[in-house]
Amino acid sequence: MHASRSVLRPVVWLVAVLLGAALACNWSSPAPATDPPPEILLPSPTAALLPTADIPVAPEIAAPPPGWLTYTNRTFGYAFDYPAEAELVAVGVTGYPTDELPPGVEPGQYFATLEATYTEAICAGVRYGTAFLYVGPPEDAGGRFSLPCGVSGVGTYDLRPVEEPITIGPDTLSAGGSAIYSLDDGTFLYEFFFVPTRGFRFNYGGDWTQAGTTYEAYLADKAIIQQVLASWRWLE
């Protein structure tokens, strides 16, 4: 038997997730800046990433399929291809831990400084039909300034652990996650997976019931997300 548990529900937009009441008490959302931001020294966004020498260079990637576009993020050192009809996810600064506010600095001023520092997306990915992909960098490299970055929602379902292989650029990894079933009739409702690698957090999956379609339709959308992941490359 599978236990009834409250779980995260994937949705097709970014909403509060994986934070809980604890983060609600120590996270500051944007506040308007009243004055130009003062000189605040922040670590480089790439300072906490792995040195280039420790990251194997991806093999040469074939040209993307016709009609696909390429997203490049030089702040965090990666690129991926995606269909032109997909919705690109590109979210910048959304807040910061309140204990990081420098003494004497107004919240709005600090937020403006963060925005000036992180000029590219911190949380990025794509949404394609019923499937999604969100990618966030290490928290100490700036990931903590763009939360949540992934699935969300809550409900009571039959939660079953799942695992599958996934190719992310040059690496074949194991993705772990959950398959969600209805407690009423055992219907398979949705699924999501997480892959931590090189300090980054990849989150993908889909919710076909919310879209009013079928699992088979989701699998076709998921195959596109898998192609996006396979096109991933780390920049030198």
Give the pLDDT of residue 151: 83
Rounded-to-integer distance, Cα 202 and Cα 195, Å: 5
Give the model's pLDDT for residue 29. Answer: 58
Segment 44-54 mean pLDDT: 49
User: What string of DSSP letters covers 45-88?
Assistant: TTTTSPPGGGSPPPPPPPPPPTTEEEEEETTTTEEEEEETTSEE
Contact 78, 234 (CB under 8 A): yes
145-177: per-residue pLDDT in tens? 999 999 865 678 999 999 999 999 999 999 999
